[in-house]
Amino acid sequence: MNDFENNIVHQNNNISSNYYAIPGGVLENNTTYYWCAKAYDGIKWSDNWSEVFSFTLDITIQVPTIPKPIDNSIIIDTTPVLDWEDVYDATEYHIQVNTEENFEGTMIEEKNDITQSEYPITTPLENDKYYWKVRIKTKKDEIWGDWGNTWSFTIDNSSPTVAITSNESKITASSPFSITITFNEKVTEFAIEDITVDNGSASNFVDSENPVFTDGITPSEDPVDVTVDIAAGVCTDLAGNNNTAASPFSIRYDSVILSVAISSAESDPTNSSPFTVTITFSEAVTGFVVEDIQIV
**What does the pLDDT read at residue 283?**
82
The 3-state secondary structure of the chain reads: CCCCCCCCCCCCCCCCCCCCCCCCCCCCCCEEEEECCCCECCCCECCCCCCCEEEEECCCCCCCCCCECCCCEEECCCCCEEECCCCCCEEEEEEEEECCCCCCCCEEEEEEEECCCEEECCCCCCCCEEEEEEEEEECCCCCECCCCCCEEEEECCCCCCEEEECCCCCEECCCCEEEEEEECCCEECCCHHHEEEECEEEEEEEEEECCEEEEEEEECCCCEEEEEEECCCCCEECCCCECCCCCCEEEEECCCCCCEEEECCCCCCCCCCCCCCEEEECCCCCCCCHHHCCCC
Instruction: Answer yes or no: CATH 1.10.8 is held by domain 1-58.
Output: no
**What does the pLDDT read at residue 245?**
98
For residue 1, name the pLDDT band (cuts at 50, 70, 90): low
State the pTM of this model. 0.64
Architecture, CATH, for domain 73-155: Sandwich (2.60)
pLDDT tens for 184-225 read: 999 999 999 999 999 999 999 999 899 999 999 999 999 899
Q: How does the average pLDDT of the chain come out, rounded?
A: 93
Residue 236 has pLDDT above 90, yes or no: yes
**What does the pLDDT read at residue 157?**
94
- Boundaries of every domain in the chain: 1-58, 73-155, 162-253
Residue 120 has pLDDT above 90, yes or no: yes
Residue 58 has pLDDT above 80, yes or no: no
Residue 168 has pLDDT above 90, yes or no: yes
**What does the pLDDT read at residue 97?**
98
Q: Do domains 1-58 and 73-155 have the same CATH topology?
A: yes
Integer Cα distance of 221 and 224 in angstroms: 6
| Residue 205 near residue 192 (C-beta atoms within 8 A) | yes
Share of the chain above pLDDT 90, in %: 76
- Please state which CATH number belongs to domain 162-253: 2.60.40.1220
For residue 28, name the pLDDT band (cuts at 50, 70, 90): confident
- Which is higher by pLDDT, 142 or 241? 241
